[in-house]
Structure 1
């Protein structure tokens, strides 16, 4: 059975995609989400082979009519991906999808002959606190400084490092936060619901931009609202959206991406393969969140950092807990995670600068860390009861007010801290090559932390302040 939090998020994402029946995989194990009844293949000859092979398989072994297998979307786009329907998807109920699993098995022999993957599930790519959440934002008292604090330095448009944040859009009052005075990009869609309540994950992109600006003042930050719809998008659309994000302003120095998915494989995502191959040809550095499943399973696109040919183009970032000495309980980990940065209880811009905004918690905290850690982590502190949780909480969930800054945790936020450190290094060294700056920064790093028994490079900004929390009182 999938963990409680994952199930809660499945329900929310399914509501945000009412016309896309979703399944939990693999085989209902709670590792990733994907579209029911559909597989992906590369355009052209491979799509034809996949379609014919799956049609023959299901006609022979499942007795399905051949017209169950057909193209289910546009056949050409820059991502080079075709959606192929392999069965009637039915409804999205969170169970696995035997038809898709059968289609994948049917192609195993053809893939072995071709020497590469030809077919894939159509995974849901989500911001890295969504289907694998760290926690929800927490209000901070007015006057609380950002953490990391604002580094010294001025914004110089002639030398500023270009940073593209691919996430949710900017909140309407983001310019009320001085550090974001030079930030531009897409507006957040539908910040609040009909009752004026802040919607979940609104402000995510603004929070990230505030972290980059705090660590590296000499940056030109552009935020693209690629993930405005509940922070989730189908893999079949994600590659195209990544191309669109870089089209508008050109390839930047650094891309900050706090989104992804696992897929049970070690060779990447079929839906972003074309974008990643193009990225490799550019000078741009992709800095990507490792995800918050507390798992060693590769999380894509971050895990491209461990694939041959991408080691200089991608930096995968895990999260350190509030003291900076150990990995955060929720952070993914493993050899494919190349650096760690503070990612627990960071303070940055959210919303409510102009007028305080109410927020209703969606998830309840736990009585103990859901990953088995014993320090006072965000699984259990600060206490709140959520709307989506069903395990005996009160009928009315907790509501809070945001008045500008907030505290939030996740590899989503460790990522822009690392982005800021790379950008600050570029400014300090007059370095114009972000990939060289990444290598130099990693070589110069003298700080290390312990993550699951391994000593790993720790990127700690000079203005970051450790946050140590006392154990919470027992729930009454």
Structure 2
């Protein structure tokens, strides 16, 4: 599907997201409407500008947004860790005890792996949630799943595929997946993707969808932008935005987003985890990026949630006076792997 660049943001050309209340106001520009799982994708007539129409709808007090494109945030540019590297098998023996905690993982999907192949939750994962095997971000979801299961032993993953093999997805797909999560809300939700909006304002339908999971701690990456420009959904007030620090857990990784909208940080450099089995890889890899720092923070919350509500765990972790605070990066959460 086509992607259009608007400033530093990416959108699906000719598409606006809205709820049903906006349909009459946009009817004269509408070629078709697809409605599913709480969101309408309005396909505009040729020549109609989705950003201009969004602005007009918002002036009328309606909830609308261009269909922003989001992308997973492993590191791809510069430095020695700009791609996944094969590693020897990682010593990790999954425990049999269950914590009772469910972690939602919206990503590229998940591949079969010894760390979870015999688990109940993997056996219940739908076939369409299998990780991509081709593309620049194939294995991204599997890598994150390994970080989550090691950081939060006994947690159950609820996997939903919203990104393709190149790590690309859009706001409509994410909002629809979030809507489906209402049936069984996870205690913790990991969103290792994101992007800028065309006007640097929060995307309203995405914000609404996350707010509809009030007991879930949503954790999202601050992006590999190296800037303080708000990166969504991490910059939403209801979301824990996570930046990356270096392998020594001392300084901001140079690629990491930062700013007053960031709540926490964790190691993002040269982490090792589960991966695809094929080619140069035998099921394990080393990779860097804010995507993976996010999984460490989400895992820390999930691990604490086995004995108290996830919201209370998050409050304790991120508002503790004893925790180390790094300016523009928030509270440091040690890797503990």
TM-score by length of 1: 0.62
Deviation at 1:84, TM superposition (A): 4.2
Would you say 1:209 and 2:145 are equivalent positions?
Answer: yes
Q: Does the CA contact (< 8 Å) of 1:123 and 1:234 recur in 2?
A: yes
Give the match for residue 46 of structure 2. Answer: 87
Q: How far apart are the structure 2 equivalents of 1:47 and 1:130? A: 39
Give the match for residue 404 of structure 1. Answer: 283
Q: How far apart are the structure 2 equivalents of 1:129 and 1:424? A: 24
Deviation at 1:180, TM superposition (A): 7.9
Deviation at 1:347, TM superposition (A): 0.3
Give the match for residue 30 of structure 2. Answer: 70
Give the match for residue 331 of structure 1. Answer: 256
Q: How many residues align?
A: 332
Q: Secondary structure at the match of 2:33?
A: coil
Q: Secondary structure at the match of 1:87?
A: coil
**Selected match of 1:439 from 307, 315, 326:** 315
Q: Secondary structure at the match of 1:72?
A: strand
Runs of at least 5 residues in structure 2 that lack an aligned partner in the other structure: none
Q: How far apart are the structure 1 equivalents of 2:334 and 2:119? A: 25
TM-score by length of 2: 0.86
Q: Does the CA contact (< 8 Å) of 2:326 and 2:332 recur in 1?
A: no
Relative to its length, the structure with more strand (as a share) is 2
Runs of at least 5 residues in structure 1 that lack an aligned partner in the other structure: 1-16, 53-68, 90-98, 193-197, 359-400, 464-476
Change (3 A) 1:80 1:32: same
Would you say 1:38 and 2:15 are equivalent positions?
Answer: yes
Give the match for residue 235 of structure 1. Answer: 171
Q: How far apart are the structure 2 equivalents of 1:266 and 1:240? A: 22
Q: Any idea what the Cα deviations from partners look like across 1:36-55, whole Å, max 9, x if unmatched?
A: 233333323x3322345xxx
Runs of 4+ with >6 A deviation: 130-134
Would you say 1:25 and 2:6 are equivalent positions?
Answer: yes
Report the structure number with the largest CA radius of gyration.
1
Give the match for residue 467 of structure 1. Answer: none
Q: How far apart are the structure 2 equivalents of 1:130 and 1:407? A: 11
| Structure with more relative contact order (C-alpha pairs < 8 Å, separation 6 or more) | 2
Change (3 A) 1:345 1:136: same
Deviation at 1:253, TM superposition (A): 1.0
Give the match for residue 232 of structure 2. Answer: 300
Q: Secondary structure at the match of 1:335?
A: coil
Change (3 A) 1:24 1:406: same
Q: Secondary structure at the match of 1:279?
A: coil
Give the match for residue 73 of structure 2. Answer: 128
Would you say 1:162 and 2:107 are equivalent positions?
Answer: no
Q: Secondary structure at the match of 2:173?
A: helix
Change (3 A) 1:118 1:275: closer
